[in-house]
Structure 1
Amino acid sequence: MVVVRGAPFTLSSQTFASIAWPLAFLLLHESAFISGQKITVELGAGSSGDFCAWLESLTGAANNDTSRTLSPAAEGKLFIGKTCLVTGCSRGIGAAIATRFAAEGARVLGVDVPGARQRLTALMEEVGGTAFSQDLAEEGAEKRLRDFVLAEAPAGKLDCLIHNAGVTRDRTLRRMTAEEFEQVVKVNLEAVLRINEAFGLPSHTEGGTKSQLGPVLLNPLGRIVLLSSINGIAGAFGQTNYSFTKAALSGYAHALASVLSTRGPPGITINAIAPGFIETDMTRRMPTLGKFLGRRANALSQGGYPEDIAAATAFLCCEGSGGVSGQTLRVCGLNAVGK
C-alpha cells in the first residue's frame, strides 16, 4: 500500500514526481520479498528525474531504439556521480549493498573492522571503491571516519550514508554479562549516533544542537539508511541487547526525520530497513531447525537474500524517494512476527 499524504490530491506533475518511484519499485521484481507493507509518501517531496526513460530501459522498451543516447537514468544507473558510504560491508548484506550501488554508478567508500581488512579490500577493488578499516566502537572512530570522508568524497560530502555495521552477542538476559550488552549497544546504536553527529547532522540530544565538528557532510537531497531488524520490531529470545538496539534505530529514524525536514541541507531523508530471515553466512550456520522455521515463518515460505536488502536500500536512496522519510520498511516476506 502506498499512502499519499498531503492535500489536495490532484493528478499533477508534482503528484507524479512524489509517487512515481515508490510505485515503480513496488511493481518491479526487486521488491519480491516485501509484502503487506505500507509506504507513506509526502506530496511534493520527491523528484521523478528521468523516470520514464529509466522505466523503459528496465522493461526493454528502449532496447532497440538507437536513435537517441540514453541518459544515465535510462541506462538504469541511478547513482552516477554519487558517493556512498557503507559501514560493515566486507560481506553479507553490506557487501550486497556496496556491489549494488557500484553497479548503479556510485563511488563506494567501504568501512569495516581491521579483522576484515582483506575481505574489504578485495571487495572495494572489485567494485572500484575505497576501503577504510576502523572499529566503530573505538573511541574517536567517528572523527577518523569524518576525516576519511573529507579526504575521499568530492568536496568532502556524501550523497548516501548507510549504517549497516552491527554485531550480536546472543545470550539469555539472565546469563548475559554487562560487557556483552554494552558491546552490542556501542556498535549497533551508539556508533550511529556518534557518526551522524560527527558528520554535522542534527544531534539527538536536547534541543537538536548540531555537532561542533564542522559542516554537514551530506549534500542536499542526501540519503541516510539504517539497517534495523525484524527482531527490533518483534523482539527475539536470547537477543535482548540486539533487539533493543534495532528497535532504537527505527525510533531514531522516525524522530530525526522531522528535524532533518526543517534543518540542514534541504531534502535529506532518513529511513530504516528491517530485514527478516536473510540467507547469509551467519544464518547458514544456524541449526537446521532454526533455519527451517526462519524460512517458513513468512507468507512466501522462503528466506530472503542480501540482494533484496540492497534493492530496498537503493530505492530509499534514489532521488525520487524524497517523499519517504522517517519510516521503517520491512523486507521480510510478511513475517509472522512483529505485525
Structure 2
Amino acid sequence: MSDWYRDFANSGVGTTITKQLGLPRPAQLRRYEPGQPLLPGPALVGSAGQGRLRDQVTALLRDAGVTVVSPVVADGDDGGAKLGAVVLDATGLTGPGDLAAAHDLLAPAMKRLGASGRVLVLADPPATAEGPAQAAARQALEGLVRSLAKELRNGGTANLVLVPEGAEPALGGPLRFFLSGRAAYVDGQVLTLTGATPASQDDERPLAGKVAVVTGAARGIGAAIARVLSRDGAHVVAVDVPAAGEQLASVANEIGGTAVALDITADDAGPRLATQLIARHGGVDVVVHNAGITRDKLLVNMDAARWNSVMAVNLQAQLDITQALLDTDGALKPGARVVSVSSQSGIAGNRGQTNYAASKAGIIGMVRAWAPEFAERGATINAVAPGFIVTEMTATMPLGTREVGSRLNSLQQGGLPVDVAETIAFLAQPASAGVNGQVVRVCGQSLLGA
C-alpha cells in the first residue's frame, strides 16, 4: 500500500515544493529483509559515567558484523562516513551532573547519523537507584530519548532499554531488534529487561522448528503476522472464524501452514484448540492473540450488543484461551511465548471507542498480571500496541481523517502490517526471554498518549 504523500515529498519536484512550503517530508523507512546487514553503517558506542555494558555491546555488534567506532571517530576523523547507529551506555549515571556526558556524546553524533539511523540508550531502572539524585538522572533519560526521537529525521528512531543488574545476558536480542530494520516503526519506546537467560537461535530463522498459533489470521495484520512468523521458520496454525474460511485457507496454503476455522468466543474454544495443538503438533511454542473487532459508537448511544461483542472477542477470548493453554498439560511447550495485540487506543483512548479502548487496555492489564506466572514456567507474555497502521480498513477512511491519523507521529507516516508483525516476531524469538510483561508500541512515536 503506497503512501502517496511520502512518495511525492521524496520526488524531485516534491522535495522542492515541500521545502519551499515548510511541509514535512516523511522518509522511506529501512525495513528488514532476509540477509540484510544489521546496520547500513558503523555504530558509535560510548558511555556516560562508568557504564558496565559498553564492552558487551561492542562485542555483540562486532559478532553481528558491525563496525564499531569511538566518539572521536564520530566527530569526523573517519572521512565523514554516516553512522548507522549510536549506542549510549548510561548505566554509570550517579546523578544529574553525569547527564552532561550523554549530551557530549549524542549532540555531535546526531550530525553524523545516516538515513533510518538508530539511537539506543541503555540504562538502569530508576526504581533500583541508590537515592533520589541517581533516580532523577536515570529517569531523565526517558525524557531525553522521547524528545530526541521527535527531533530525528530521515527515518531515524530513538529508544531506551533498561537493563537491571543481572539482566545483561538478555541484552543481545533487544539490541539487535532495536538497531535492525525490524524496528522501523518502533520509536520513543522504553523496554525493561529481566534476568531470564535466552536460548540460542539462528538469527536468519529464529523460529525454526517452532509451532505458532495466530488468531485473526485471514487478512490484514493477522495475515502479515502469519507470513513473518513463517518466514522466520515457524509452522503457523492460522485461526479465524468459519466465515473467513476461504481467505484463511489461502493464507495457510501460501505459507505452508495449517488452517483452523474456530469461533474464539465459543465456550469450548480454548480446550478444543489446546487439544488439537497437542494432538497434531505436540503443543505450541508461540501464541499470538491478534483477533479483534470494532463496534464504534459514542458511549451515550452504544447498546449492550456492541459493548459485549467487542469485550468477548478482544479481551475475554484471550483470557479464556490463554487460561486453557496454561491448564492443559503439554499445550504450552517449554519457553513458550504469548503475544497479545493491544492498541494505542487502549493507552490514549479514542473518541467513539470506549468499548474498544477498554478491551485493549484490559489486554495490557492481563499481560502484566500474568507475567510472573509465565516467568515461573520459563515462558513470557507481552503485548504490542499498534498505532495508525495502513490496512484495507484504513484505506476506506475519508482522505482528511486518514492523512491526519497517519502523520501524527514522529515518523510522519502510517505504519504497515509488517511493522506489527516484525515486533511480534521479535517477542516470539528465543532471544527475547528477558522481555516479559512489557508493552511495545508500534506507532512511530504517536503524538497521542504516553
Alpha carbons 2:390, 2:414 under 8 Å: kept:
yes
Q: Offset of 1:216 from its aligned partner? A: 4.6
Helix, strand or coil at the partner of 1:90: coil
Counterpart-to-counterpart distance in 1, 2:299 and 2:278: 41
* Aligned pair partner of 1:47 in 198, 221, 234: 198
Which among 130, 144, 155 is matched to residue 272 of structure 2?
144
Aligned to 2:214: 86
Say whether residues 1:18 and 2:190 are aligned partners.
no
3-state SS of the aligned residue for 1:229? coil
Residue 301 of structure 1 corresponds to which residue in structure 2?
A: 412
Residue 239 of structure 2, aligned match among 111, 115, 119: 111
2:46 alignment partner in structure 1: none
Secondary structure at the counterpart of residue 212 of structure 2: strand
> Which residue of structure 2 lines up, in the alignment, with residue 193 of structure 1?
319
TM-fit CA distance, 1:192: 0.6
Task: Name the CA distance, whole Å, in 1 between partners of 2:271 and 2:199.
Answer: 36
- Give the equivalent residue in structure 2 for 1:5: 164
Cα distance between partner residues in 2 of 1:330 and 1:151: 35
Aligned partner of 1:29 among 174, 181, 185: 181
Q: 1:133-157: CA deviations, max 9, x gaps?
A: 111122322222223212221x2x1
1:42 match: secondary structure: coil
Q: Provide the residue aligned with 2:262 in structure 1.
A: 134
CA distance in 2, matches of 1:286, 1:135: 28
How big is each residue's C-alpha offset from its partner over 1:268-316, in whole Å with a ceiling of 9 and x where there is no partner?
Answer: 0000000000011111111212111111110111000010011100110
Match for residue 226 of structure 1?
340
User: How far apart are 1:48 and its partner, in Å?
Assistant: 5.9
The within-5 A match list for 1:317-328 is 317-328=428-439
8 Å contact from structure 2 (residues 278, 284) kept in 1: no
Query: Which residue, 325, 347, 362 being the options, matches 1:248?
Result: 362
- Compute the TM-score of the two structures, normalised by the length of structure 1: 0.83
CA distance in 1, matches of 2:298, 2:265: 23
Within a 5 Å distance, the mapping from 1:164-243 to structure 2 comes to 164-199=290-325, 201=326, 211=327, 214-243=328-357
Following the alignment from structure 2 to structure 1, what is the Cα–Cα distance between the partners of residues 353 and 330? 34
Q: Which amino acid aligns with 1:248?
A: G
Bigger Cα Rg = 2
Secondary structure at 1:174's aligned position in 2? helix
Contact 1:19 1:46 in 2 (8 A): no
Q: Aligned AA for 1:158?
A: V
Q: Which moved more, 1:230-239 or 1:133-142?
A: 133-142
| Alignment-mate amino acid for residue 26 of structure 1 | F
Contact 1:88 1:112 in 2 (8 A): yes
SS in 2 for 1:2: strand
In the alignment, is the contact (CA less than 8 A) between 1:34 and 1:330 conserved in 2? yes
**1-structure distance, mates of 2:407, 2:340:** 26
Q: Is the 8 A contact 1:83 1:158 kept in 2?
A: yes
Report the Cα offset of residue 32 of structure 1. 1.4
Q: TM-score, normalised by structure 2?
A: 0.63
Whole-Å Cα distance in 2 between the matches of residues 48 and 158 of structure 1? 17
Secondary structure of 2:356's partner? Answer: helix
Matched, 1:330 2:441: yes
Give the Cα separation in 2 of the matches to 1:109 and 1:152: 10
User: Bigger CA drift: 116-125 or 136-145?
Assistant: 136-145
- What SS class does the counterpart of residue 330 from structure 1 fall into? strand
CA offset at residue 105 of structure 1?
A: 1.1
Q: Which amino acid aligns with 1:171?
A: K
RMSD: 1.3
Judge conservation of contact 2:311–2:359 (CA < 8 Å) in 1: yes
Q: Give the deviation of 1:34 after TM superposition.
A: 0.7
SS of aligned partner of 2:295: coil
Q: Which position in structure 1 is the counterpart of 2:426? A: 315
Structure 1 runs (4+) deviating above 4 angstroms are none
Alignment of 1:252-291 (within 5 A): 252-262=366-376, 266-291=377-402
Q: How does 1:120-131 map to 2 (within 5 A)?
A: 120-131=248-259
CA distance in 2, matches of 1:296, 1:284: 15
> Structure 1: which 5+ runs fail to align?
8-13, 51-72, 202-210
* CA distance in 2 between partners of 1:248 and 1:226 (Å): 11
Query: Number of paired residues?
Result: 291
d(CA) in 1 for partners of 2:313, 2:307: 11
CA distance in 2 between counterparts of 1:152 and 1:291 reads 43
SS of aligned partner of 2:299: coil
Supply the distance in 1 between the matched residues of 2:345 and 2:286 (Cα, whole angstroms).
25
